[in-house]
Structure 1
Amino acid sequence: MGADKATRAVLKDLAAEPALTRGSDDIDVVRATYDRVFSAWTAGAAVPTREDWIEIASEDHRTNALIVEPVQNSAVGSILFIHGGGWSLGSALCYAPLCRTIAAETGMRVIVPDFPQAPEHPFPAAYELLVTVTGWAQTQFEAPLFLAGDSAGGTLVAAISSDKRVAKAIRGQALFYPVLDLRPSARYRSRSRFGSGKYFLSEDGILGAASWYCGDANDPDDPRISPILNPKLDQTPPTFILLPDLDPLKDEGEKYAALLKNSGVAVEVFRARNTVHGCVSFSGRIPQGYEGIQRAGSFLSGFALD
């Protein structure tokens, strides 16, 4: 098994971004590089969308969010999209192109909030703010509510969808190559097989980002941090999971999907052949990434009318 031609071209260009692939002592440089790359290689929206920036505020939390909606018809639902970036990188603006594509493919409103990031703000800062944003979305819009997220955003989605404060409002979730087990002791064959850095995401990168996110005071065995340890998976909403063949996170995604199915949860797994972590954000160059967006959209849309 190896990367296909389109993926090899992306990997070659990623290798020319050392701040992103090998790291830097200056996190601002890494963040700027991530935003530039992850906003540039996403497929364009097939139909026009409109967007607005809003402020979401509660007694305890305040943040900005981008709202993207299809122009041609009224939104049939809302998707709260929680972006990836190892809980330390990425922004709502960086993910605007992807969320335009999701809105166009699903006919739904997409809400993408900014949130506090590690290492400056370890768990539970992002988690608690995003629970607040989920509750806000539930009351702000009458249409059904879904969650979606990529990578570290998928971690947050999988945890929040089981939070008793908001779980009943969530109709379904879409996880694009999520991180599901943040324990330093976690052992998965795909991490050792594909985690050298050859295929973009490295095992060292996963562990380093997880350490920043957990901070010094939090236990990675907490199911809010490692959703694969959730003892009540039967309460999880219908779930779509995209797993690239060459992703170090593939095996924990497969395990999570099996646990959900065994708990009676409706699950669809899309295995993106011969490609890598990040393919949804690279959907303008990697066809499997675009197909994954379409399949996720079809899955969630099927539950919008229930």
Structure 2
Amino acid sequence: MTRRGLLGSAAGALALTVSAPVLRAAAPLNIVATTGMIADTAQRIGGDLVAVRGLMGPGVDPHGYRQTRSDIVAMTRADAVLWHGLYLEAQMESFLADLARKVPVFAVAEAVPQEKLLSHADYDGRYDPHVWMDPLLWQDVTLEITRALSSLQPESTDAFARNAEEFLGELDALSAYAVTHLSAVPQEKRVLVTAHDAFGYFGAAYGFEVVGIQGISTDSEAGLNRISELVSFLVTRGIGAVFVETSVSDRNIRALIEGAAAQGHDVTIAGALFSDAMGQEGTYEGTYPGMIDHNVTTIAAALGAEVPDRGRLGKLAVGS
């Protein structure tokens, strides 16, 4: 079934649950979302029919995040909680399982079909959770968020479906922009070295070799042997550009640069990428499309492709 068909079917099925005409506008749904990416998408789909609170702001690492007392209050009072799943919020899983007995709780990334997920040698039986790195995979999450909101407020299903269709089109355009500019990076330069292994889906989508100092979780430690291996990798391959992440310490990246310098090989930080969190609230980079636009534009420019000065829509901050 097509995407439009899925949205239409959901709207039709949920419309049947409304037994009487709605005479007044429903109060906005009180939604709590764990990550900024989920919060932004839920707000785009819900519009003024939802009030969304995101727990994890700019620079926050979801892998080790623990709920605060105010988070607990917000989630227990919410109409629903949207969390990522796929073991991203590992420290919160037992709390969310308990909460699900009282409040509707949706693990929205677990709607991504299993055949689209990447397994990881370090995590037997689990999958790489960083599906937001590919806008086309994020479409599956968008559809799941749409279904969740529609189940909570059936009378608004048509409005949610319209907003979702518009957002899905934006994700199509974002993906097309990424394909165009990342394919212009010379083949020999398509190596992305970052602080942790958050860019696997990015690499799979756009044909990049991705090397993270840490594994897919920032809880994993990068020992001296790992740093030494990657120094040799950079020197042997002649790689001169690496990237830091806004939600991960740059300590290991700087150790890598120093190790390469000790062997007479210059490596520079080519830019800062948004990996597990978006940019500052109120900025374009603080939205999901802006986050991806920034990453694509930064990577493509640093590795030799021509890109628009301020990204796909000319909205990126100067020097972003």
TM-score > 0.5 by shorter chain: no
Greater percentage in helix: 2
- Give TM-score, length-normalised by structure 1: 0.38
Q: Larger C-alpha radius of gyration, 1 or 2?
A: 2
- Give TM-score, length-normalised by structure 2: 0.37
